[in-house]
Amino acid sequence: MSRIPKFPSTATKENKPTFTNSRNITRTIGNGLSEADKKNLLLNHTKPLRNTSSTTTTVAAPRLKRSATAPSTATVSNKITKVEKKTTTVAPRIAPYDYKARFNDLVEKHKAIKSELSDLKDKHLEVSDEYEKIKETVEGNITERDMLKEKLLNTLKDLRLKSSEYESLKLDYEIQKQENEELHNKSRLLDDVTQSLKLKTSEFDKLKMEFDDLTRRHKSLSEETEALRVLTDHLKKISVEYDKLKLDHKEAIDTITKNKTDSEALQNILATMYRDQRVLRNTVQDLKGNIRVYCRVRPPLESEASKPLYNLNVLDACSIEVEKIELLNSARKGKSQHSFSFDGIFTPHSSQEDVFSEVSPMVQSALDGYNVCIFAYGQTGSGKTYTMEGGCGVEQYGIIPRAINMIFTCMEDLKRMGWELNIKASFLEIYNEIIYDLLNSSKEQESHDIKMVNSKGTDLYVSNLKEEEVKSTHDFIRLLIFAQRNRQTAATLNNERSSRSHSVAQIKIAAINEKRKEKFTSNLNLVDLAGSESGKTTQRMDETKHINRSLSELSKVILSLQTNQSHIPYRNSKLTHLLMPSLGGNSKTLMLVNINQFDESFNETLNSLRFATKVNSCRTVKAKKNITMVDSL
Ligand SMILES: Nc1ncnc2c1ncn2[C@@H]1O[C@H](COP(=O)(O)OP(=O)(O)OP(=O)(O)O)[C@@H](O)[C@H]1O
């Protein structure tokens, strides 16, 4: 658009270049010059030649000037200039009278002008084309301008509309802004109010809590006041009673002081009496003998009712007579009659309690500080385990559970006299001269050796043997059951092992009396010996050898003690070695020989009774108790 020459919008036909005129001029020249031109020509040609050129230049000049106004016609103007230059060529001077020359000159000029005209025509055509193009462009521009104008008008209209809308919106905005500010102010005010309300609420809550607390306290205070009032009334009554009691108390204190003195005196008497009683008990024991033997005859069981029995006569409390009539066809035909005397006889009707009433002084001796050994001897099935351990139920309890029960019962009396007792228990089994710990249930048993506690050799212990402290009879029974189970398990693994092993329950008593500065330790060994009968099979031969050896060593030890030998062969068997402290001088021994009344067992019964008689004839030296005076406990 910018390259299109600008014409004033008000351009009219008059303002356009008058090219039509030039066409006319050409035509005129072709036909001959117009009158005016002719005149001019004549005038010019009659004038000196110097002016001619200037005249022609003057004629062309206004046309060129006009065309110069349109930059798009620059080429045209250049061409015109060339023509002009041609026309301005200096012609040879022609004499005024030479008309012919002049005419020729004029013809020449005419020709030149004609060619110039033809050039101009071409130019005119070119310019016309360009004009047409420009015109089209201008018209297009005008249309565009009009469209733009219309658009502008529309835009202006829109703008006006928008402006009015804007104005109304601006107004609305202002109103909104004002309202907003008002609302903002109100909101701020509301925030302040809310804040203060919150403060008030929290203060209210606090006050309410305080009020509730105060109410509660008030209520509890009221209750306390009421209780205090009741208490005061009660206290008043108590005060009266207290005064009365105070008097009684004073009297009681006097009485207690008197009683305390009496009690101390009585306690001293009691201690002296206890000591005397102990001495007396021991004297009786000594008189009875430190090795005492009892015989117990077990009754046949229901299942054994059909078994033939030999004759057994209880001659008196201490003697029995066994009698067997041998069949006439037997090798030893005739009557076999034997009488035996012991410290006591328990018939098939004697209860466990009857047995224990005779055994209890031995347990008492252990509580008095003596080493005691109670063992049951006899053939298999003669009632040794029943006598020592017993059956089910308290009634059936044997010597071992009754002994521990007695220890714990006496412990209470001893405590009252200032004695503190510590009881420990261990359970072992000697099978084929090997010691087994019955409180150790693991299959892998450690080796157990009998060792001396001190160089004097008065006390012994078994290495790696579990020793459990017992605080009650119940504790002990639990351990006893555990040991029984262990023995039974071993018996299952090794057929009839329980009958072929010695079972020992050891109870160690450690007593201390801080008041009297006295202490003692004693051992109570409760032994269930292996069945004394000889083995009937080769399989049992090894066991029998060991049993017989240990039982014979036991009788040897007893005999050596009886005859006051300087050397007592305790160490020849595990059993005698273990029982050494309970068999020697500082000990009391009680043997229960168990027999049954079956005809088939007559010979074994005789053996047992003979062995027991041998033991019974043994009287050890007077037993010494282990009690010692201690300087500092
Ligand atoms: N005085 C008794 N009154 C009632 N039953 C008894 C008596 N003595 C033993 N018995 C019963 O006789 C059976 C054999 O007794 P026990 O097992 O005590 O004999 P044992 O000599 O220990 O035998 P083993 O050497 O095989 O251990 C048991 O059933 C036991 O309950």
Question: Is 378 labelled a binding residue?
Answer: yes
421: left (phi over 0), alpha (psi -120 to 50) or beta: beta
Atom 16, ligand 1: residue with shortest CA distance: 383
| Each residue's pLDDT tens digit, 503-535 | 999 999 999 988 888 898 899 999 999 887 655
Q: Give 559 Cα–ligand 1 centroid separation in angstroms.
A: 29
3-class SS at 588? strand
Confidence check: pLDDT of 628 > 80? no
CB atoms within 10 A of CB 121: 14
Q: How far does residue 32's CA lie from ligand 1's centre (Å)?
A: 187
386's CB contacts (< 8 A; 6+ apart) are: 298, 398
CA 426 – CA 505 distance, rounded (Å): 6
Specify the pLDDT at position 45. Answer: 47
Residue 391 CA, ligand 1 centroid: distance in Å:
9
Q: Could you tell me which residues come within 8 angstroms of residue 514 by beta carbon, excluding any fewer than 6 positions away?
A: 418, 420, 633
- Say if residue 369 carries a ligand binding annotation: no
State the Cα–Cα distance between residues 285 and 595, nearest whole angstrom.
25
Q: Give me the helix-helix angle, 49-68 and 35-46, nearest 10°.
A: 130
**Most informative mutation of 302, 375, 386, 429 for ligand 1 (most atoms within 8 A of CB):** 386
- Rounded to the nearest angstrom, the distance between the alpha carbon of 531 and the centre of ligand 1 is 11
> How many Å separate Cα 324 from the centre of its chain?
77
Q: Is 337 annotated as a binding residue?
A: no
Measured from CB, residues less than 6 Å from any atom of ligand 1 are 298-299, 301, 378, 380-386, 391, 498-499, 531, 594
Do residues 625 and 370 touch, judged by C-beta distance below 8 A? Answer: yes
What ipTM was estimated for this complex? 0.98
What does the alpha-carbon distance between residue 11 and residue 134 come to, in Å, rounded to a whole number?
Answer: 13
Written in H, E and C, the secondary structure of 140-184 is: HHHHHHHHHHHHHHHHHHHHHHHHHHHHHHHHHHHHHHHHHHHHH
Give pLDDT, residue 504.
Answer: 94
**Rounded-to-integer distance, Cα 314 and Cα 409, Å:** 34
Confidence of residue 581 (pLDDT cuts 50, 70, 90): confident
Q: Residue 57 pLDDT more than 50?
A: no
pLDDT tens readout for residues 245-290: 888 888 888 888 888 888 778 877 877 777 777 777 777 777 666 7
- Compute the 3-state secondary structure of the chain and give helix, strand, coil in percent, each to the nearest 5: 60, 15, 25
CA of 403 to the centre of ligand 1 (A): 19
**Residue 536 tokens, joined:** 């009937």
In the beta sheet, which residues pair with residue 512? 420, 519
Ligand 1 probe mutation, 295, 298, 349, 494, most atoms within 8 A of CB: 298
- For residue 595, the CA-to-ligand 1 centroid distance in Å is 10
Q: How far is the CA of 151 from the centre of ligand 1 (A)?
A: 137
Q: Is 456 annotated as a binding residue?
A: no
- Please name the residue whose Cα sits nearest to atom 23 of ligand 1: 381
CA of 229 from ligand 1 middle (Å) equals 75
Q: Return the ligand 1 atom nearest residue 348 CA.
A: 1
pLDDT value of position 49 = 44
Residue 357 pLDDT grade (very low, low, confident, very high; cuts 50, 70, 90): very high
Ramachandran quadrant class, 390 (left: phi over 0; alpha: psi -120 to 50; beta: rest)? left
What is the number of other CB atoms lying within 10 angstroms of the CB of residue 557? 26
Q: 62 pLDDT exceeds 80?
A: no
Determine which residue's CA is closest to atom 11 belonging to ligand 1.
Answer: 383
382 is an annotated ligand-binding site residue: yes
pLDDT in tens, 409-463: 999 888 888 889 999 999 999 988 899 999 987 777 788 888 887 766 667 888 8
Nearest ligand 1 atom, CA 388: 18
Among protein residues, the one with the nearest Cα to ligand 1's atom 27 is 499
pLDDT at 555 over 80: yes
Global pTM?
0.59
Q: Which ligand 1 atom is the nearest neighbour of the CA of 296?
A: 1
User: Given a cut of 60, is residue 58 above it in pLDDT?
Assistant: no
The residues, ordered by sequence, that sit 6+ positions from 108 with a Cβ below 8 Å of its Cβ are 91
- pLDDT at site 331: 57
- Rounded to whole angstroms, the Cα distance separating 343 from 291 reads 10
CA 427 to CA 439: how far, in whole Å? 6
Task: Report whether 195 belongs to an annotated binding site.
Answer: no
